[in-house]
A and B are shown apart, each in its own frame.
Chain A
Amino acid sequence: MQPRTSPEVGGMGHSMKRKEDPRFIRGKGNYVDDIVLPGMLWMDIVRSPFAHAKIKSINTEKALKVPGVLAVITGETLAKYNLHWMPTLMSDTQMVLPTEKVMYQAQEVAAVIATSRYAAADGVDAVEVDYDPLPVVVDPFKALEPNAPILRTDKKDKKDNRIFHWEAGDRAATDKAFAEADVTVKQALYIPRIHVASIETCGCIADFDRVNGKLTVYMTTQAPHAIRTVFALVAGHVGLSEERIRIVSPDIGGGFGGKVPVYPGYVIATAASVVIGKPVKWIEDRMENLQADSFARDYHITAELAARKDGTITALRMKTLADHGYTDAAANPSKFPAGLFSICTGSYDVSKAFVEVDGVYTNKPPGGVAYRCSFRVTEAIHAIERITDVLAQELKMDPAELRMKNFIPKEKFPYKSALGWEYDSGDYEPALRLAMDKIGYAALRKEQAEKRARGELMGIGISSFTEILGAGPSKHFDILGIKMFDSCELRIHPTGKAIARFGTKSQGQGHETTYAQIIAEELGIPASVVQVEEGDTDTAPYGLGTYASRSTPTAGAAGAMAARKIREKAKKIAAYLLEVSEDDLVWEPGKFSVKGAPSRSKTI
C-alpha cells in the first residue's frame, strides 16, 4: 500500500525521524527531577521494615534536630485534615500515612521535609518508629482460609480478606460441556508479581501558591487529568477545587503502567506544600520503587479446556485468584475488576465458557497495573495459549494444527465470544500459516525429532494472541466513573501551521511524531509543522492518559476526527474563496481544487 501523502508531508505510511528526539539525544529532556523551583524543599520517606505491624510510636525528636530538617509528617498530621486515607482508582481505600498499623513491607510511615536532598535522607535515618509485629499473610490461598487473620480491620464488618468475586460466561452450560467432553485438560498457572522498573522512578514537585489558592504538581504520571480529578476528590474538603489544580506531566522516563496509580508520596508532598507554602520535591529511589510501587500480574490461574477427540474445543473454564496486596489499587475500568481477563477465549471459537476471578487482600504493596499490555490481557492470553498447548500434548496433536482447527473461522466475523466480546474482523489461519512458512516450521519439527532421538531437548513455541485494547467505549469503560474517552484540540495558525493537544501522555511512545503524522494524513499539513503537546492539564483537553495500549485508538482517532472537522470548515472557506459550491470541490492531501478546473485551487 502506497502512502497517500508525499514524504515532505509525512502522513501515515512514512517512516520519519522522531520529532521528540532532538532534546533527548542532547540530554535536554525535562524530567521531573530536572525541574527546580525557587524555594523548593525536599521530601524523603520513612518506610516500614514489617509487612504487618501496629505502630506503637513515632519519635521525631532526633530527626527534627538534623540540620536542614524542617518537619516530619505522620499519619496523625494528615488525620487532622482527614487526608490520611484516600480512595484508590478501584473505589477501595488506601493509606496515605498510617495511624494504626502498616500493611506491607516498605509502606510509607512518615515523611521528612528538609532543605536539601541529603538532609532529608539524614532525617529519615533519624526517625525512630516502634512497631509491634502482627501475623503476616502473604499467601493468597491462605488469606481465604476460614481462620486467616482479617487484614482490613479498618473496614467495619469485614469478615474475610476477599475483595471481589467477578465472573463472566455461562457456568452451568460450561460445566455440562466439561462433563460430556471426550477429553479435558487442566493446568495450574502462576504468573508471579512483576515490577515495571522504568529507568526513571516516580516523583513529583508539589507547589501550592497561597496567594492564588492554586496547586501545581509536576508529576511522573501517565494520566494527568485523571490525577487532577482524583486530587480534587481527595482534597476537595480542604479547599483544593479542581479548577485550581494543575497537573503537569513533563517528559517521563518510561511508564509501563507503573506511573498510573496515585502513590502516597504525591499526596504527602502536596499536603506538605499546602501547609508550608513552598514547593516540595519528592523523588523515590530504586529500592522504594521496587518495594512499594504498584506491581503487575500476580494471578494464580487454573485453566481448563474440554474438547472432542478430534481436537475441537467445546468449552473453556478458568478460575483465578488475584493477589492485590493490601488494597485494590489496580488501574482497571470499574466494571472490570479483573481487567479484560475475559478475552481469554483468545483466537478460538469456543462456544461455552466460564471464567471467575476472586480478588484477595494480602500483606503486600497494592496494585495491579497493566504492564506493557492492556488490562490483564497478558494473563488471559498466556492462560489460553498454555492450556491449548497442554491439550495438544494430551491429544498428541501438533499445536499449530490444533490452533488452526479451533481458530474463529473467517466466515464467523463479526464474532461474539462466549464471554461477551465482539471481534469485528479476522482471518487467523493464513496469519499462522505465513508465520510457520517464514520460520520453516516443518523443518524445525524435523530437527526437533532428530535431536530428541539423541536425548537433546529443543522447544518450539507458538503463541497466537488476540487481545483487546484501546479502552474504550463509554458503555463499558470508566475509571472512577470517568468514561474512557480521549480528546484532541487542534488549532491551525494563520500561516498554515498547527498545534494539537491531547489528553494522553507519552512516556516514550512517540506521540509527538505519530499524532502529527495522523493529522498530516488528514490535512496535508507537513507533520514537521504540527506541534503536538500533552501533559499539562491547564492546556490539554481532558483525557484518560496513556496505558493499556489505548492512545492511538482513542486520542489518535480524536486527532483524525478533529482534523476532519477542520477540513470541513476549510472546505466551506475554500468554496467561498473559489466562488464555487462545496460539492464542486475535490480534496487531495493539502489542497482543494475545483472539479474539472484543477488549476483553481486553495491549499490548506
Chain B
Amino acid sequence: MAMHDIQVTVNGAPYDAQVESRLLLVHLLRDQLRLTGTHIGCDTTHCGACTVLLDGQPVKSCTVLAVQANGRQISTVEGLEKEGKLHPLQEGFWEKHGLQCGYCTPGMLMTTCALLEKNKNPSEADIREAISGNLCRCTGYNNIVKAVQFAAERLRKEA
C-alpha cells in the first residue's frame, strides 16, 4: 500500500509525516501528532467534535484525509492559547459555564473562532447557525451561545 510523505503546518509549527492514503486527518492529529484535543464522536460526519480550521475554514477533520491537508495550515484547540494568554472564547466558555464534560468543547471553540474572525458582532441566530454542525449532549447550548457573545464583546473591546 502506497505511503505518502506529507507536510502540514499545525498551529504554526511544521510537521512531516508518512501516512497511508486512507488516514483520516483527525487520526493524523490525534494519533501521530499527539494533539488529542480534537475529538471523535461519531462515524457519520454529524457531531463536529473533530472540528479544526483548515486554511482558516472550520471543517470536520474526520471527513478529510490527511493527504488532502498536505501543504496546508491547520489550527486546533491547542493553538488557541497564545503565550499563556487564553483566547477570549476560552475565557468565555469558562466564564459562562459553556461546558460540562468538555468533549464537544474543542470543536465548539474552533467553529466559533472562525465565526468571530468573519463576523465581529454575530447575532444569537448567527451563532446558533454557525454551531449547527456541532453537537453537545450536556449543556443544551444556551451557555455556549452566551460564551460566544462574551468573547465577541471582549474582542470588540480589545480591537
Contacts and interface: CB of A to CB of B under 8 A. Distances in A.
On whether A and B touch (CB less than 8 Å), the answer reads yes
Query: Looking at chain A's contact residues, is the secondary structure mostly helix, strand, loop, or mixed?
Result: loop
Contact of B99 (A21, A33, A200, A287): A21
B36 A199 contact: no
A465 B34 CA distance: 47
B78 A27 contact: yes
Contacts of B93: 21, 25
Contact of A200 (B30, B39, B90): B39
Interface centre among A31, A34, A254, A285 (most CB of B within 10 A): A254
Contacts of A286: 41-44, 47
B103 A26 contact: no
A118 B137 contact: no
Contacts of A509: 100
B94 interface: yes
Chain A interface size, under 10 / 10 to 19 / 20 to 34 / 35 or more: 35 or more
A24 B102 contact: yes
Interface residues of B, number: 43
A252 interface: yes
A287 B43 CA distance: 7
A569 interface: no
Contacts of B34: 36
B101 interface: yes
A34 B26 CA distance: 12
A24 B105 contact: yes
B38 interface: yes
Interface centre among B20, B38, B39, B76 (most CB of A within 10 A): B39
B4 interface: no
A80 interface: no
Contacts of B44: 286
Contacts of B102: 20-21, 23-25, 29, 251, 253, 508
Contacts of B38: 27
19 contacts: A20-B102, A21-B93, A25-B90, A25-B94, A26-B81, A27-B35, A27-B106, A29-B37, A34-B36, A36-B34, A117-B27, A198-B103, A199-B101, A200-B101, A251-B101, A253-B41, A254-B101, A254-B103, A508-B100
Interface of B: 20, 22-23, 27, 30-31, 34-44, 47, 49, 76-78, 80-81, 86, 90, 93-95, 97, 99-106, 109, 135-138
Given A27-B36, A28-B37, A200-B41, 7 more contacts: A25-B93, A27-B106, A29-B102, A199-B103, A199-B136, A253-B101, A508-B138
